[in-house]
Amino acid sequence: MEGVRPLLELQGVAKAFGPRLLFRRIDVALMPGTLSLLAGANGAGKSTLMRVMAGLTKPDSGTVLRRVPDERLGYMAHATFLYPGLEAEENLLFWARAAGLDHPGERAKKALETVGLARHAHERAGIFSRGMAQRLNLARLLLAEPSLILLDEPATGLDVSSRAMLMELMLKARSRGAAILWISHDTAGDSRHADRVLTLENRSLREEAGGLS
C-alpha cells in the first residue's frame, strides 16, 4: 500500500473521565481495504475510543486525522438512531435526505433489499424486534456506501444467518476499498475474517494479525 494514506489516523490520543484514565498514547491507522477488530474487556474504553474516531467525543490529547467527508463515514452504535413512529422505508428516506444523498428513494429500496427487509418496508420501526431493528440500522449505514465504517458490537440481537449476512456485507465493503473497524463480542469467531485484531488493555492498544493477514 505504498503511497496510500490511512482513511483514519490517531496519533498519541488519550482520554480520561475525571480521574479515571481510559487510554493514552494511542497510535493507530485504518487503511483502505482493511477490516480490523477492536477487542478488550468491558470498561476498557472501546466504545469511547470509537466515538473519538467518529468525531463524537474529543480526545484530551493527541490528534485525530480523518480523511473522509462526514457523509462517507458510517457509524453504528448501540443505539439504532431509528424513529419508531416511521415506517422502515421512511426512516431510510429521512436519513438519505438529511445526508443530501441523490436518489434517496432508490437508495432506500436497495438498502432494504440488501438487509432482507424489503417486505417490511411499510411497517413501523417501533414494532421491529431487536434483530430487525439492527438490520434496519445496518441499512441506514449502507445508504451512502461509506468508505470508513465504525461498528460498535453490530451483531448484538442478530441471529446466526443475520450475523453471517453482516459479515458478508462488511467483506464486500472491504473489497471495494472501505476501512472497517468492528468492536466484536466474538473475537475468536470474527478474527478469521479480519486483517488484524486491536486489543485495548492496560490503557494501551496491542495489535496482532487476524485470519486474513
Q: Is 76 exposed, middle or buried (0-12, 13-18, 19+ CB in 10 A)?
A: buried
> CB of 137 within 8 A of CB of 76?
yes
In this structure, what C-alpha cell is assigned to residue 140?
Answer: 441506514
The per-residue pLDDT for 187 is 84
Model pTM?
0.91
Q: Is 132 exposed, middle or buried (0-12, 13-18, 19+ CB in 10 A)?
A: buried
Looking at residue 127, the DSSP 8-state letter turns out to be G
Round to whole Å and give the CA distance between 179 and 163.
19
| SS3 per-residue string spanning 2-41 | CCCCCCEEEEEEEEEECCEEEEEEEEEEECCCEEEEEECC
Exposure on the CB side of residue 178, measured as CA atoms within 13 A:
25
The residue with cell 439492527 is 134
The per-residue pLDDT for 27 is 96
C-alpha dihedral (48, 53, 55, 61), degrees to nearest 10:
80
Q: Is 161 exposed, middle or buried (0-12, 13-18, 19+ CB in 10 A)?
A: exposed
Residue 135: enclosing H or E segment and its boundaries? helix 130-142
Exposure on the CB side of residue 71, measured as CA atoms within 13 A:
10
The per-residue pLDDT for 6 is 96
The residue with cell 469467531 is 189
pLDDT, block means (10 residues), the chain with 213 residues = 85 94 95 95 92 96 94 87 94 94 95 96 95 92 94 86 90 95 87 92 90 67
